[in-house]
Structure 1
Amino acid sequence: MDADVPPPIMLHPHWEQALAGFIREQARGLPLGAENRNYKDRHPKCEVAIALTPLRVLAGERTTEELQAVAAGLELPWLRSYLSFRHETAIHSVLRMTADETAAALRETAEAVDRIGHVEGPAAEVVAVVRQLQQQFPHDRGILLAVCMKLIQLDPGHAAVIPPGCLHTYLSGQAVLIMGISDNALQAGLTKEYVDLCELQDLTGHGQPQPSPLPLLDVGDGEQRIPLWSDDLDLRRVVVGDGPKAVRVGPLSVALAAIEPACITVDEFTVDMKPEAKILYAGEPATATFTGPSQIFVASTL
């Protein structure tokens, strides 16, 4: 994934939400390909992001203390008023806004960013985020959501988990994303596609799970193991230097060459891999030999 243009702010439902939503839309007779279909299947979708370059991620919601610092630092009446209500989160309040309220809050935010001088901490982060998104998505509700969302910055080689039920998008950088097998993604902002505000309010009404850093386990010799959501899956990041590097593959593996080209050899078969190219291996477990220099990601079933 290359986040030169941020993808839509979206939410992947957890398993109870996905199952209930899929059954509900099936019962309504809503075609799977309908524009206003939220649930394409009955599965949850976890997401893991591994940074290839410095990566900026918006995910989850800032703490009340951080949001209060943003409201005070930028003098945002709309955010200050929402923080005075204890019965719902700021993001839930943004999703409840009428069109006129949204337009007014966007004006307040734009004026605050234009007049602001020196600020620090969460307020400074929000200024940078808003200025970026105003250029790319003017007048979009997603700017208000972004004001309330937690900013995560990952160095190359670091990873984070975006759990189901967590609003998220990527602001800049390149990353490898590993996601569960599901097409369920409810868009919330930074998009011209269908946005179901009522459903999003329901899904976020009791808050959101928060993103968390994911430690990569060093197994030596330039190889790291990345824990995933199932014990049946294995994901490895392999740094290939000037010499060849042997990696186990199979019975079902997908290998990705990230950024730089690479070459893979299994038995007598050799394939050149361009940057971002993926190779599928299905067969008896075997030893693959990679040459680079490159970063290789190998995902396998166990």
Structure 2
Amino acid sequence: MHELVGALRSYAWGSRTALAQLCGREVPSAHPEAELWFGAHPADPARVVLADGSRSLLDVVADDPERELGSVAPAFGDRLPFLLKILAAEEPLSLQAHPSAEQAAAGFAWENKAQVPIDSPMRNYRDDSHKPELVVALDRFEALAGFRSPLRTVELLRALDVPQLTPYADLLAAQPDSAGLRTLFTTWITLPQAALAALLPAVLDGCVRYLAAGKGTTTEFAGEARTALELAETYPGDAGVLAALLLNRLTLEPGQGLFLAAGNLHAYLRGVGVEIMANSDNVLRGGLTPKHVDVPELLRVLDFEPLDVPVVTADATGETVYRYPTPAHEFALSRYELAEGAAPVPIPHTGPAILLCTAGTVTLRQDGEQLRVRAGHAAWISAADAEVVVATATDGPAQVFAASVGSC
């Protein structure tokens, strides 16, 4: 059991207050802080605090995978299979999807053969892994995720009452399935600039009229209309604003999760959450970003099957323990809600684990040793370590997330 120091990532969409406040640092921060990585990804590994200094978790695992990962090591190529993050979005993230395992392996091999530098901004595949992911809201968390039912989208397009949208609504109404969604999405995301410059303002005007008619809150598609306007303000003239009209818009309350498998188009809009994923940094972007956009590759990996809103509700497995069910083999995530002064709570593990405190302060005990962990900080538990007990919560109630390997 060792303290694990996360790697802070700064992106333009990040927050100057959320992560700094959570970690007890000065607010506002000097730069937007978007993600805090707790894992062993080569791009930015966390650091394990040892008696003689700190070492990269990547190096710690590589030096003795059998001890650190235990029996799961061979199944995942002697690599920690998951990456745990705290994500803080002040502005929308890019419209994006992640590849399947087969697509990632093929794309990574192709770009290697083409000698695209691993750190090139034009690179799509930075590793050979797929990237299923789960985000759990720490505060109100808003997102676009998965293609909405086509007939429901037809209702939205007609409700905006924009004549220029009529042929597109008719197209989808005539083919209300994944093929129709693929056709419409492809048409919009590849519109010539002149056509986009004519269509997008008309759509935004329709959103304004729609909200005004319903006084902004009572209309059926108010959230979708407001989101389109907000996206257009941040990314003017971007075809991703139109594409966003095809996606489910949802709001997670604290404790609720959102699971996304390969191929699901999504964009996180705002909020703070704990995110766990396969240990990968593969992202195919389609818009709403100044970063590299590769529409043909995105179209190759997208799943256009309509998706019911994939909200994950945690299963209570005890008075204080909540586990998030997902089909992912690479990771599992549980949440512990601890009252101040509550009885010690064991956190069992059979392989490697990361314990992340997101509220309050806890003291972890293991074989007579103690480690104090406060909000925004974490502990690394190797497979060889004994069971950890959360001995006490101080400074009020505490919340701890336990990340581990899923069922192989």
- Asked whether the two chains share a fold, i.e. TM above 0.5, the reply is yes
Q: 1:41 to 1:220 in 2, by over 3 A?
A: same
What is the distance in 1 between the residues matched to 2:199 and 2:219?
A: 22
Q: TM-score, normalised by structure 2?
A: 0.67
Please tell me whether residue 287 in structure 1 is matched to residue 397 in structure 2: no
Q: Which residue of 1 aligns with 2:272?
A: 174
CA displacement, residues 133-169 of structure 1 (integer Å, 9 cap, x when unaligned):
2333333322212222111222222222111111112
- Give the counterpart letter for 1:151 in structure 2: R
Deviation at 1:240, TM superposition (A): 0.8
Q: 1:209 to 1:270 in 2, by over 3 A?
A: farther
Q: Which residue of 2 aligns with 1:118?
A: 213
CA displacement, residues 168-199 of structure 1 (integer Å, 9 cap, x when unaligned):
12222222111111111112222101101121
- Give the counterpart letter for 2:239 in structure 1: R
- Percent of aligned positions with the same letter in both sequences? 25
Q: Which residue of 1 aligns with 2:304?
A: 207
Deviation at 1:102, TM superposition (A): 2.4
Equivalent pair of 1:66/1:122 in contact (CA under 8 Å): no
- After TM superposition, the runs of 4+ consecutive aligned structure 1 residues lying more than 4 A away are 119-122, 230-233
Please tell me whether residue 34 in structure 1 is matched to residue 135 in structure 2: no
Q: Which residue of 2 aligns with 1:7?
A: 93
What is the distance in 2 between the residues matched to 1:76 and 1:272?
A: 58
CA displacement, residues 100-150 of structure 1 (integer Å, 9 cap, x when unaligned):
222222211222123333356653221121232233333332221222211
Secondary structure, aligned partner of 2:89: coil
Equivalent pair of 1:53/1:155 in contact (CA under 8 Å): yes
**Which of 110, 124, 134 is the matching residue for 2:232?**
134
Q: Which residue of 2 aligns with 1:218?
A: 316
Secondary structure, aligned partner of 2:376: coil
Q: Counterparts of 1:259-278 in structure 2 under 5 Å?
A: 259-278=359-378
Q: TM-score, normalised by structure 1?
A: 0.89
Secondary structure, aligned partner of 1:107: helix
Q: Which residue of 1 aligns with 2:147?
A: 61
Q: 1:192 to 1:161 in 2, by over 3 A?
A: same
CA RMSD of aligned residues (A): 2.4
What is the distance in 2 between the residues matched to 1:231 and 1:110?
A: 42
Equivalent pair of 1:255/1:298 in contact (CA under 8 Å): yes
Unpaired runs of 5+ residues, structure 2, are 1-86
Deviation at 1:301, TM superposition (A): 3.6
Equivalent pair of 1:165/1:209 in contact (CA under 8 Å): no
Equivalent pair of 1:69/1:123 in contact (CA under 8 Å): no
**Which of 89, 98, 110 is the matching residue for 1:24?**
110
What is the distance in 2 between the residues matched to 1:140 and 1:262?
A: 45
Equivalent pair of 2:364/2:388 in contact (CA under 8 Å): no
**Which of 348, 352, 370 is the matching residue for 1:252?**
352
What is the distance in 1 between the residues matched to 2:366 and 2:164?
A: 60
Q: Which residue of 1 aligns with 2:53?
A: none
Deviation at 1:47, TM superposition (A): 0.8
Q: Which residue of 2 aligns with 1:155?
A: 253
What is the distance in 1 between the residues matched to 2:220 and 2:297?
A: 29
- Give the counterpart letter for 2:245 in structure 1: V
Instruction: Provide the aligned length of Structure 1 versus Structure 2.
Output: 301
Deviation at 1:276, TM superposition (A): 2.1
